[in-house]
Structure 1
Amino acid sequence: MKTLRLLLLLFVCPLIVSAQTAGSGQKSRAHICIDTGWRFAYGHPFDAAKDFNNGTGYFSYFAKAGYGDGAAAADFDDRPWRKLDLPHDWAAELGFSEKGSYSHGFKALGRNFPESSVGWYRKKFTIPQQDYGRHITIAFDGVFRNSTVWVNGHYLGTELSGYNGFEYDITQLLNYGGDNTIAVRVDATMEEGWFYEGAGIYRHVWLNKTSPLHIAANGTFVSSTVGNGKAQLTIKTDISNYDIGADNFAIVQKVYDRQGHLLATKQTDGHALQPFKTGEYSSQLDIAHPKLWSVDTPYLHRLVTTILVNDVPVDEYVTRFGIRTLRFDANTGFYLNGKRLEIKGTNNHQEHAGVGTAIPDELQYFRIASLKQMGSNAYRCSHNPPTPQLLDACDSLGMLVIDENRLMGIDEYHLGNLKKMIDRDRNHPSVISWSVGNEEWGIENSETGARIATTMQSFVKSLDTTRAVTAAFSGGWGQGLSGVMDLIGFNYIAQENPDAQHQKFPQQKGWGTEEGSTFATRGIYFTNDSLHYKSAYDAKPRPNAYSIEEGWNYYAKRPFLAGMFIWTGFDYRGEPTPYGWPSIGSYFGMLDQCGFAKDDAWYLQAWWGNKPVLHLLPHWNWKGKEGQPINVWAYSNCDEVELFLNGKTQGKKAMAKNGHLEWTIPYSPGTLKAIGYTGGKQVLTETVQTTGTPQAISLEAHKNTLKADAQDVAVIKVSLLDKKGLAVPDAGNEISFKIEGPGRIIGVGNGNPTSLEPDKYLETIVNMPIEALKELPVPDTIRKSETAENFDDSSWKKAFTNISDTSVKAWVYRGSINLTDDLTQSPLSFFYKSIGRKQSIYFNGHLLAANVDYHKDQDVFNISKAFLKAGKNSIVIVALPIKKIHPWDNPNQDPGVIQFKAPAAAWKRKLFNGLAQVIIQSDGSHAGLITLTATSAGLKEKKIVINADK
């Protein structure tokens, strides 16, 4: 994996700098990541009072422009909300419940949990005055799900799907030279898929600034033909004009190699575009002796497209692309750059232990590198368009991709979403196929399904003819959808007969889009259904499904099938088949949720990779089973393997291609040793030893230097060692973690599909509104008795019932909050909003602030722990009334909230079969050393130091 890291061209999310610029001044392009400095709070799907009264105003945001109210209003007071950075998946922070969704891993989210199924996000940002005249948009890579966005109280739109990227024009809504506010309401009550999907703004958010005349978002498409020592590039460029007049311009396009050398350039002049129009412009460039992109040499080029107006650059757009050729053959499979390549793929959902769906960019590279190390060369995005950074990782590391549409259909919504995916991802050389659907059981066997699939396939070809179009089909071959697709995806061939399909449709290409869904728990070698543990020996999971070995043997023997995608590469939350509660994760992966390899990964490495492999299973810690038979397997691509137990041979066996070897051995503590032979020569040795008790903690980072950018991460493997330095494979100790320096822990995990431990440890925040607020008109503000803790206010009226009474000299307002014992253990903060032009505030008779002038939302008062008591606590505000300037003025009637805050508990995780994982991230504050300290009862603490470097 570390060798692969050297090949990376990391494109991470910059925090405040421009990712693409051209020219100078206000005409330059800026692509600014705005992931930092957000505020978050839970809303409610149907209780308006718990949803910050959004949409309850006399004029709603749907009635008149700029009337976003409640938490959508620009001046809403979000000071008590939690501070966080994006990406963010609030589902990963929630606990588990048997009432939760089986398919989503029993998280406390969804219709049974309205209090945690709607989230609000807000962020303030500044736009310089000199930006006036530029075209400015806000772009979201993905929000799960049903998101509504406002800027400065202006409703921008609603995106239903959690997988679509979307962008809004905010040019005319901004306060240039001042502050602006984004508000986003996210409703994750309803599931979109049948697997863990997270909740919240779980992908990046961008602020884009361009000239009014500019290359459109995802506006370039580079395709290539290769032959006779050159590559001919066809470049299509979409240019949009948001100026008020027609613009004349020239287009300059330059192609650079990986080292930055200019390979080709072309300028076309005399273009014109009317206002609010988008035009497509085509050109061709030739590259002599091109370096081709492949899975082994993922060579990337760069296209720079510049718009010139009167010879002055007004926009520049950078496109990464690769030059390669693709071809599927109905009889001989898949060809990359003219050479047949077996597809050795995995299916994967977008989720990782500790962080849920909010996967940092570097973690995408870690995951793809882990699959490459296993021998995989292809990745199916199951079952939705991925985050763009995943495809960047696949481009950089050399991983082929099926890019998959979320939902089949033929109307504007369905085809529009399909077009969004293709337009966004069409320049990624890793993408070799567009998938229009997956196992649409309601239609796939019918004439309706055939018509829908035919329409979608034709629609894709109208946008991109360079890639194959596929759909994953689960049964009933030869009819419906399976009869019309150019490239059919077989799901679980044990149910049907691909040979018969090939005979019936000899011109149809085919591959296995899902195969080999073996159940396995990492590090478990005896099935225990009472504990929800499945043995990690590869086995047929059910009569109508193949094991990993069975599936690969089937496909490897049929050249007309291009290859197969295993279900799955990584374990994922949700779908804990074949169990239910309290299992909360799947058992299908070759790697667990942390990316720790199960034994099947070595089977694949042996027959998918290109290096000698020898792996033994199980571990050799079987205290209490002395003399009992233990199945010992060897995964290897050597010709022969000989096994020894404590120096005594157990026999040499020949390895069948795409197979494995087995021995049954009575258990005796000591050492298992295997020797692999190829061509009669010893090439590999593997040992598995009985270990002692844990004596030391081991911490290993996948890299030791981070960018100090609040984005980069290091993945830390945690294990325990015995006195000989051997990793203890069955250790289950609880490990606690502490971090110091410019970093933070963002998640922990251990790969256990039954663990109900938290993935995150967060500070506790409780915001309490003042209850039962009453009022009393008084002649002056020199009040004593009314401010007393136990004053009788039973005869007072509900507050703000006489707000229009101009004869009142002053008001006394009384309310209360109820505190449990826990809430009295720390000082409280009163985020106060003025309800008078001058006011004094009391808590349980104690003066907090005297004669405070009117401030909109700037006052925060500390309430001493000494003032607190369990039960009812009084809040009194003595105020001079706010005078209306206009009859329609509506003075503030909300004095704010009182907040309890407690620090997060210590991060911890139990090892599962010897392993756990911690993900640490730079916090972006400064460069320096990040120290992670791990402790466990009875063991010496262990430290690892990671350098955060600017």
Structure 2
Amino acid sequence: MFKKILIVFLCLLQASIFSELKADPVRQQINLNRDWHFTLGDPAGAQQPSFSDQTWEQVNLPHSFSLPYFMWKSVYNGYGWYRRTIEMPEEWKGKQVAIEFEGVFIQSEVYLNGKRVGEHTGGYTGFCYDLTPFLKPGKNILAVRVNNLWKPDVAPRAGDHQFSGGIYRDVYLHVTDPLHVSWCGTFISTPEVSRASASFRAETEIRNDYTQSQQFSIRTEIVSPEGKTVSQAETKEMLKAGSTRIFTQYPAAITNPSLWHPDTPNLYKAVTTILKGTNIVDRQETTFGIRWFEWRADKGFFINGEHYYLLGANVHQDHAGWGDAVTNAGFRRDIQMMKDCGFNTIRGSHYPHDPSFARACDEIGILFFPENAFWGMGGGSGDRDGWGTPSSSCYPPNPADQDHFDRSVLAQLKELIRINRNSPSITAWSMSNEPFFTDASTNERMKQLLNKATDSTHLWDPTRLVAIGGSQRKGVDKLGKNQIAFYNGDGAGFLEPGVPSMVSEYGSVTTHRPGTFDPGWADLKDGFNRPEWRGGQVIWCGFDHGTVGGTGLAIMGLVDYFRIPKRSWYWYREAYAKGNRNPAEPAWPVPGTPAKIVLSADKTTLAAPDGTDDAHILITLSDADGNPVSNEVPVKLTILSGPGEFPTGTTIQFMPPSEEEASDITIRDGKAAIEFRSYYAGTTVIEASAEGLPSSELTIRTLGQPTWESAGCPKVADRPYKRYIAPVKEEPANELLLAVNRPSFVSSTAELSSRTLSNDDDDQTAWFADPSDANAWWKLDLEASYDLSAIEVIFPTTDIHRYIIEVSADNQSWSTVSDQRTSEKKEKKQCVEGDLGKNIRFVRISFTSGRAGLSEVKIGGKPADL
């Protein structure tokens, strides 16, 4: 009896000791977002501790060179420096201290106490450096030199978004034992999974920074969504000094797993513990999910054995005022807005997104396609600066740049996968976006790089398939093995390709808020055909965003830049979410007499003063009865007291877009909004005011430390908004490349011909209409709005060709720019030049006699500002 009591006592004692050990903070993660000094430019010696930064601006992270930024087409390109102090306490002695940057655009050099720690190139993936050799007790000076200069041998070379510089994501210190799990070093997969059971594979990368070999145990526990340990594995290992190794374990399979699904986003945890004897030296939690995907060329997409049609939106990382320096809470709001209107999928266009983005998709329940930063933008060629103009060859035409460019693409892809590989929402890794927008001389190198990327991805993550994003030209949809073809544009009118596929971009709307209550793509109104082989359809795009391409490319979202839905968002909510207890078409605001300013927010308590949380503040004008009105009058937000800030500082002014003095900070349709954040704990009082209207107030409380009062009530600097005017550059020659590889549509096609041959940048190929087609026409979608200056038409033969050329902004109203219906001239080519129309998206050629055919259509112009 005594022996049994002793055993029970010892078991309880061991459990108690283990519980206390588990609670011991053996690993610390410290947020470094607060209290930086920043300056634009490249002052000499700024890395040295003795350098004086007292005249620099005090900033907090996430931060952008362009702050405040409001969707303008130009941003500063050059250098910027960041500096801050790191205090090393006594308890860090004998510890390993590393610094993690979640994202710096596009190139960074990190120094500690004047010594170079490392350099990273690639603006959308995180990286981690060991600071231990450079640290000293007490005060340490961290300095980061950043530039956002275009580089011909670094991906991406172009794109329809903005390329602001800065430390625009979170920064953390990690304090660990010298024997520890490496940065992003755990990979949990489920090799065999069904509704009845699931097996586990745990790969843990461990680093030994001791000067001697270490013996230790690795314990991996699988914890259910309910918090119960359901499986574990423990192995004894040894690791040589100064080395890193991946250890693989197989915790026991479980029965009846709680599967992850967008409708039921069940999440498990893998708790990895490193023990030396009975002492815990490191402990880390990794969230993952149990589910399985299947892609079939003939049946589409399946999750957990059930067919599932993907309905989604493309999403950029860019918010009003803050630019790409978005909080984790801001990303979560974006994802929730897409789910609320009925989407189940997000494509992370067109670069790796913040790590918190995938985590929020996991938790909210929405499938996610991350994408590497290998993409092109039509309309330009060669080594044109893709950030000074919206286009450049996707792959570098200069042979001297090509090997380094390949390494750049593969390095960013590897980092993307390592950082995000445990997220159950990630359905496939996308290698690219529209890589066919590249000089003809680089076609083969571009395809070889895609093959390298897909092969490497299968090694780095054998659990998922690989997608080729924007694969509708030059045969890139058929590259490699075990791939999914993403097709952009062309009105989603793709035929069965014989490979797993989905439409990854379709049907953009181009309008400022409020827009109209329709989907933007008319086919959806009539019940869009969903062939059983198609995996799904993803709209371009979810949100308005800043872009070097100008307003015409910027305002294609279902939600505006300030995160207020356009009316098309409500159409999708009704069609896909079946209203979700909301009316099909809300009562829209109408003109009235503004009498009140209603001030509200998505939350009035922020969890932490560290740049990870914020609040979305909404201004609504209403009449005396509380009904929203569509009037647009100037409204000002002012922080009366407390620590918070807007991107412009302590005040922000919203102006009607119709007024001459209006800035890009607008109030439209009676509503305006902005995101508010605070870097100190405390209570902030915000006032909304407008001439002739009573003011209103909103109080937001921020939790945590330090408090605003304990810090001495520091003032937030005012940051007045001004459009950045870029230095004048020599305009590139009119290359007539806007039409190349854009989506085309035809009345008919002759046998053995194809509509794509009319704008493939090869005038030796041609599209022909069917001979029986008496009203033949060919139409081009430029996919964005342009001010056109030239249209050149090349025919298959020298003959009398009778036709008209028309242009349109909306695919409904057409203007004739060339009327050749009565021509008697034999010709093979015609070029129309001049002012051919503003804000043009569509070009149509209608034939009135003779056999209809086109060898090539070439178009020149520049992006439009709407």
Shared topology, TM-score over 0.5? yes
After the TM superposition, which residues 523-542 of structure 1 pair with which residues of structure 2 at under 5 Å, given as runs? 523-524=514-515, 536=516, 538=518
CA distance in 2 between partners of 1:750 and 1:600 (Å): 23
Contact 2:329–2:614 (CA<8 Å) still a contact in 1?
yes
Counterpart secondary structure, 2:565: coil
CA deviations over 1:825-853 (Å, ceiling 9, x no partner) = xxxxxxxxxxxxxxxxxxxxxxxxxxxxx
> What CA distance in whole angstroms lies between the structure 2 residues aligned with 1:212 and 1:687?
62
1:916 and 2:644 aligned: no
Separation (CA, whole Å) in 1 of partners of 2:655 and 2:600: 17
Q: Structure 1 residues 279, 108: CA separation in 2 closer, same or farther (over 3 Å shift)?
A: closer
Query: Would the aligned equivalents of 1:518 and 1:538 in 2 still touch at CA under 8 Å?
Result: no
1:78 corresponds to which letter in structure 2? D
Of residues 116, 120, 136, the one that matches 1:159 is 120
Per-residue CA deviations over 1:587-634 (Å, capped at 9, x if unaligned) read 21011112211121122112221446886xxxxxxxxxxxxxxxxxxx
Identify the match of residue 33 of structure 1 among 12, 31, 46: 31
Root-mean-square deviation (CA, aligned residues, Å) is 2.9
* CA distance, structure 2, for counterparts of residue 443 and residue 236 of structure 1: 42
Deviations 1:619-652 (A, max 9, x none): xxxxxxxxxxxxxxxx67xxxxxxxxxxxxxxxx
Alignment of 1:330 with 2:297, yes or no, is yes
Paired amino acid for 1:318: E
Structure 1 pair 218–353 and aligned structure 2 pair: CA distance change class (3 A): same
Q: 1:340 maps to what in 2? A: 307
What does residue 89 of structure 2 align with? 128
- Residues 750 and 351 (structure 1), Cα distance of their counterparts in 2 relative to 1, 3 Å cut: farther
Identical-pair percentage = 28
- Please name the residue that 1:601 is paired with: 569
Q: Aligned in 2, Cα 1:443/1:257: closer, same or farther, shift over 3 Å?
A: farther
Partner SS state of residue 193, structure 2 = strand
Partner of 1:356: 323
**Aligned ranges 1:455-474 → 2 under 5 Å:** 455-473=452-470
- Structure 1 contact 576–753 (Cα < 8 Å) conserved: no
Give the corresponding residue for 1:141: 102
Q: Show the counterpart of 1:709.
A: 609
Could you report, residue by residue, the CA deviation over 1:686-719 in whole angstroms, capped at 9, with x for unpaired residues?
A: 6457442101101111112222434321111101
TM alignment of 1:41-440, pairs within 5 A: 41-43=39-41, 51-53=42-44, 70-93=45-68, 105-110=72-77, 117-175=78-136, 177-190=137-150, 192=156, 193-194=158-159, 195-224=161-190, 225-227=192-194, 229-407=196-374, 411-440=406-435
1:698 corresponds to which residue? 598
1:420 alignment partner, SS class? helix
CA distances 1:230-288 after superposition (whole Å, capped 9, x unpaired): 22121111112222221111110112233432222221124444532323323233233
Structure 1 or 2, whichever has the larger Rg, is: 1
Secondary structure of the equivalent of 1:368? helix
| 2:512 alignment partner AA | T
User: How big is each residue's C-alpha offset from its partner over 1:734-772, in whole Å with a ceiling of 9 and x where there is no partner?
Assistant: 33423422433346697999999678xxxxxxxxxxxxx
| Native 8 Å contact 2:517 2:570 kept in 1 | no
Structure 1 pair 736/251, CA: closer, same or farther in 2 (3 Å)?
closer
Identify if the C-alpha distance between structure 1 residues 614 and 420 changes in structure 2 by more than 3 Å, giving closer, same or farther: closer
Which residue of the partner structure matches residue 521 of structure 1?
A: 512
| Rounded Cα–Cα distance in structure 2 between residues aligned with 1:612 and 1:719 | 23
Distance 1:736 1:178, change over 3 A: closer
Q: Which runs of 5+ in 2 are unaligned?
A: 1-19, 376-401, 705-866
Distance, in Å, in 2 between the alignment partners of 1:196 and 1:242 is: 40
| 1:491-506 → structure 2 map (5 Å cutoff) | 491-494=488-491, 498-499=494-495, 501-502=496-497, 506=498
Using the size of structure 1 for normalisation, the TM-score is 0.64
Contact 2:96 / 2:175 at 8 angstroms: preserved in 1? yes
Structure 1 residues 558 and 35, CA, compared in 2 at 3 Å: closer, same or farther? same
- 1:754 and 1:377 map into 2 onto residues whose CA distance is 37
Match of 1:559 in 2: 532
Query: Do 1:203 and 1:358's aligned partners in 2 also have CA atoms closer than 8 Å?
Result: yes
1:249–1:307 Cα contact (<8 Å) kept: yes
1:735–1:911 contact (8 Å) kept in structure 2: no
> 1:423 offset after TM fit, Å?
0.9
Distance 2:525 2:46 in 1: 54
Aligned with 1:417: secondary structure?
helix
Distance 1:446 1:931 in 2: 58
Closer/same/farther in 2, CA of residues 708 and 134 from structure 1, 3 Å limit: closer
Q: In structure 2, what is the Cα distance between the partners aligned to 1:223 and 1:374? A: 31
Residues 606, 613 of structure 1: 8 Å contact kept: no
Distance 2:626 2:658 in 1: 29
Structure 1 unmatched runs, 5+: 1-20, 44-50, 54-69, 97-103, 111-116, 525-535, 540-546, 580-584, 616-634, 637-685, 760-908
User: Given that residues 576 and 587 in structure 1 are in contact (C-alpha distance below 8 angstroms), is that contact kept between their aligned partners in structure 2?
Assistant: no
TM-score with structure 2 setting the length: 0.70
Residues 35, 80 of structure 1: alpha-carbon distance in 2 compared, 3 angstrom cutoff: same
- SS of corresponding position for 2:200: strand
Distance 1:566 1:298 in 2: 23
Looking at secondary structure, tell me which structure has more strand per residue.
1
**Alpha-carbon distance in 2 for matches of 1:214, 1:708:** 28
**Structure 2 vs 1, CA of residues 749 and 721 (structure 1 numbering), >3 Å: closer, same or farther?**
same
Distance 1:701 1:129, change over 3 A: same
Partner AA of 1:510 in structure 2: S
CA distance in 1, matches of 2:301, 2:600: 39
Does the 8 Å contact 1:697/1:719 carry over to 2? yes
- Please say if 1:745 is aligned against 2:646: yes
Asked whether the 8 Å contact 2:314–2:505 carries over to 1, the reply is yes
Residue type of the alignment partner of 1:158: E
Counting only pairs closer than 5 Å after superposition, residues 641-680 of structure 1 correspond to structure 2 as none
Tell me what 1:940 maps to.
694
